[in-house]
Amino acid sequence: MLLLRTLALLRRIFLIEGIMALALRRRQYDHVVHIDTDSQPRILHYGEDFLLEDLPIGTRVVYPKPPIVGLPNPEAAIRYALHHPLDSEPLHAQLFPGMKVTIAMDDISLPLPPMKTPDIRQQVLEIVLDMITAHGVDDIHLIVANSLHRKMTESEMKRMVGSKIFNAYHPDRFYNHDAEDPEEMVHLGKTDHHEPVNINRRAAESDLLIYVNINLVPMDGGHKSVTVGLCDYESLRPHHEPQTIIDSDSYMDPAQSALSRKCERMGKIVDEHMNVFHIETALNNDMFLSPMSFLARNEDHFSDKDWALFNMTRATLAKLPRTAKRKMFFQFPANYKMIACYAGKTEPVHERILKHCFDQYAVPVKGQCDILITGIAYVSPYNVNSILNPILVQVMGPGYFFNMYRNKPVVKKGGVMILTHPCYDDFDPAFHPSYIEFFNRCLPDTKDSFELRAKYEQEFAHDPNYIQMYRRGNAYHGAHPFFMWYWAENGRKHLSKIIAVADNTYVPEMLGFDRASSLTEAIHMAKSIMGRSAEITMLHHPPIFMSDME
Amino acid sequence: MRKNTKRAKAAAAFYDMDGTLVKTNLVHALLFQAKNQQGVLKSITRTAQITASIPVFFLTDLYNRSVFQERFFRSYKGESEDRLRFLSEELFEEVLKPSIFPGAIDLIERSRSIGLRQVLVTGALDVTVAPLARYLRIDDWITNRLEFVDGFATGRLLPPVMVNATKASWIRTYAEKEGLSLHESYCYTDSISDLPMLSVVGHPAAVNPDFRLRSAALQNNWPVLDLK
């Protein structure tokens, strides 16, 4: 009897310890789990499709934090920010009849995917415009700060600001920035590092420039908003280049980013010449609308309904052509909610907003891995309503996802990155014409960023065809694919190999990747380099997050 | 704007004119001449004749550009050379200049700024083209030329007739003679009939293209420009 009781007690103790050990192993943090024998397979984005993969036992999977609850009354938050700005007079105190006001705003690259209407920009603009017009200001222009990105289409602009504002201001007083219009650019000066600061003339010559920002990743916002969003090619060259990327560790961490430092230097020149009132907002990461919200969660916590919905979605996608799938995905807006809004001088505003961004996006992760796995979805900042072409696949993998860290990369130096995307050879000829030539003409010649910049970048930047397509169409600037290539410079230098799990056989090779036909094969290939006991981490993007490395 | 100093060899930008740089076409010039005949009655008669021929021009152009040109330039038969030249400046000021596409001047300026020679290769008449070419600061142009006997047009064209493949052939000869790199040259047109001309350069582009040229451009990954 005593023996039986002792055995039962021991069993309970071991059971509890076992559960505790399992729990500890699995729940290093809420958003970091380890694959075990009883773990569910993991969902990886694969362009416009999904892969469902059993990962090796011991694989660490990092998830985004759950969405921070949005502000209950965003309008009140915006009004409070305008009336209580940081290091600046309240907006209403800066207004006087007859003054010239320009309102610049982030373009369609933010947020991703476009958010449910009303867009935050619309909410901010409605309040700001009411206030400005009430003070007798008539000379108001609204400019999309698209920099060298493609110009937004009319329907996209209308969706962004709402039909009331659109109808009142478009096309004469609401338009896209044109970095290639020499008449509409003005040189403000040079930094002490000889970086030229050329800015949109209307913005520079206004009595007040109001910038309406949306912050999704820490690279955005701050001085980058004006110095990049409203600049020209010559002003962009000093920091959109490979050495600046190499000098940034990483460019997603403003404190360690040479890109941010250069923008700050240029921003000081802007502040010397212009009166800038910055309105920055931070969003939560509530990316998926209700039926698909499970995609952001740990698969071990999926209900039967979630799995049924996932399997149904996957089966439907398998039957659709790629263009239809893409169109379908872009029909689903994100459910983002505003979690903070500040206004005033650029630097203090950005500092506050960054804190909120990190609260949402920074995920603590302990220890680097040998093999990093990440899925690549259908969207990037540069292909809204368009195709994620091979160069953009590259910018998402060894570019953005590699760089989404603070302190040190998630993967060790010399490690391997595995990304999953079909890597189809498909480009949008209207949005990405110069990408086509870059991919087919430049990459077969060299993949070295410095050589590409020296040999081809200026030619593409000054190509009259690409300039016209940028100015009169909706094309990205001729130099844009080069910037996208430089964006992945640190990933390429840091990693010993990048393996694409892809359908296409030659696109990965063109990008300098190895190719595998399945994730299992890719992991075997990676282990052949990193050893059988290689530590594997999967980043469960999207929603995006930053790994705060310990 | 900077010059591209890295170009190994001189190159050019070749442009078609009608529909590419200006929104008018050959018929607009012909109608202008008809409208400005000596005497009101003659003007009305000629204008009516030309207007009545427009459907025929349209159909023959759809069928074959060479047949169209042959048929079209016959309409000039009997026109005085002096009068055509006399009216050319007026034609430019009243018809062509307002019809220049907004993006055309910018395209030419950008192209010149990177060191490309500017060349017009068009099926329009020399008298029509010259004032426009001077206005756009075009370096060189090749056009169609009417045959005149005793100062009056016969309705025939002098060789080389600028149409379809002859444009491409002329570009090849011109580039060889001038030491231009076709590989680094650009070419712009709006019509599928100029496909041969697009095919001989390294940087072809379809401008305000018709459906057939747009399809060809997309198939070949050529840029499609809208200068309107």
pLDDT band at B5 (very low <50, low <70, confident <90, very high): very low
Residue indicated by tokens 């820490």? A218
Chain B residues close to A429, C-beta within 8 Å: 218, 221, 223-224
Contact with chain A for residue B15, Cβ under 8 A: no
Distances (CA, A) of A413 to A62, A368, A490, A526, B209: 19, 9, 11, 14, 51
Question: What angle, 0 to 180 degrees and rounded to 10, lies between the N-to-C axes of helices B81-91 and B26-35?
Answer: 110
Query: Mind listing the pLDDT tens digit for each residue in A400-459?
Result: 999 999 999 999 999 999 999 999 999 999 999 999 999 999 999 999 999 999 999 999
Tell me which residue in A429, A459, A467 faces B4 most closely, judged by beta carbons. Answer: A459
Contact with chain B for residue A430, Cβ under 8 A: yes
Chain B residues close to A462, C-beta within 8 Å: 1-2, 4, 110, 113-114
Average pLDDT value over all residues in chain A: 94
pLDDT band at A10 (very low <50, low <70, confident <90, very high): low
Segment A187-216 mean pLDDT: 97
pLDDT band at A75 (very low <50, low <70, confident <90, very high): very high
pLDDT band at A2 (very low <50, low <70, confident <90, very high): low
Backbone angles phi, psi at A211, to 5 degrees: -110, 125
Are B224 and A471 within 8 A, CB to CB? no
Q: Chain B, 187-216: which have a CB under 8 Å from a chain A CB? A: 203, 205
Are A469 and B111 within 8 A, CB to CB? no
Two tokens, residue A118: 């009303």
pLDDT value for B45: 80
| Closest CA of chain B from A267, distance in Å | 24
pLDDT value for A7: 56
Question: Side chain identity at A352, as an amino acid letter?
Answer: R
Q: How far apart are CA A277 and CA A91, in angstroms?
A: 8
Query: Mind listing the pLDDT tens digit for each residue in B58-115?
Result: 787 777 777 777 777 788 888 889 888 888 888 899 999 999 999 999 999 999 999 9
Residue indicated by tokens 């970091």? A32
Q: Check if the interface score ipTM surpasses 0.90.
A: no
Tell me which residue in A437, A462, A465 faces B225 most closely, judged by beta carbons. Answer: A465
Contact with chain A for residue B44, Cβ under 8 A: no
For residue A442, give the DSSP letter: I
Contact with chain A for residue B114, Cβ under 8 A: yes
Segment A128-135 mean pLDDT: 97
Query: Mind listing the pLDDT tens digit for each residue in A17-48?
Result: 555 445 544 444 578 999 999 999 999 999 99
The 10 Å CB-count burial string (b at 16+, else e) for A487-525 is bbbbbbebbebbbbbbebeebbebbebbbbeebeebbeb
Two tokens, residue A251: 């460019």
| Closest CA of chain B from A181, distance in Å | 10
Query: Mind listing the pLDDT tens digit for each residue in B193-204?
Result: 999 999 999 999
pLDDT value for A27: 47
Is residue A421 a contact partner of residue A508, using CB atoms and an 8 Å limit? no
Tell me which residue in A430, A436, A462 faces B2 most closely, judged by beta carbons. Answer: A462
Contact with chain B for residue A461, Cβ under 8 A: no
Query: Mind listing the pLDDT tens digit for each residue in A185-200?
Result: 999 999 999 999 999 9
Two tokens, residue A244: 């600046």
Contact with chain A for residue B89, Cβ under 8 A: no
pLDDT band at B44 (very low <50, low <70, confident <90, very high): confident
The 10 Å CB-count burial string (b at 16+, else e) for B120-132 is bbbbbbbbbbbbb
Chain B residues close to A182, C-beta within 8 Å: 1
In terms of pLDDT, which residue wins out, B165 or A438?
Answer: A438
- Check pLDDT > 70 for residue A70: yes
Segment A6-10 mean pLDDT: 59
pLDDT value for B48: 80
Average pLDDT value over all residues in chain B: 89
Q: Please report, rounded to a whole number, the percentage of residues in chain B having pLDDT higher than 70.
A: 96
Q: How far apart are CA B181 and CA B171, in angstroms?
A: 11
Is residue A210 a contact partner of residue A145, using CB atoms and an 8 Å limit? no
Two tokens, residue A476: 């990205």
pLDDT value for B52: 78
- Check pLDDT > 70 for residue A13: no
pLDDT value for A5: 67
Q: Please report, rounded to a whole number, the percentage of residues in chain A having pLDDT higher than 90.
A: 91
- Check pLDDT > 60 for residue A220: yes
Output the pTM of the full model: 0.91
pLDDT value for B60: 76
Are B1 and A462 within 8 A, CB to CB? yes
Are A436 and B224 within 8 A, CB to CB? no
Q: How far apart are CA A328 and CA A320, in angstroms?
A: 10
Residues 6+ apart with CB under 8 A from A425: A390, A504, A506, A507
Q: Which own/partner pairs from B140-144 qualify as long-range (CB within 8 Å, at least 24 positions apart)? A: B140/B174, B142/B170, B142/B174, B144/B69, B144/B73
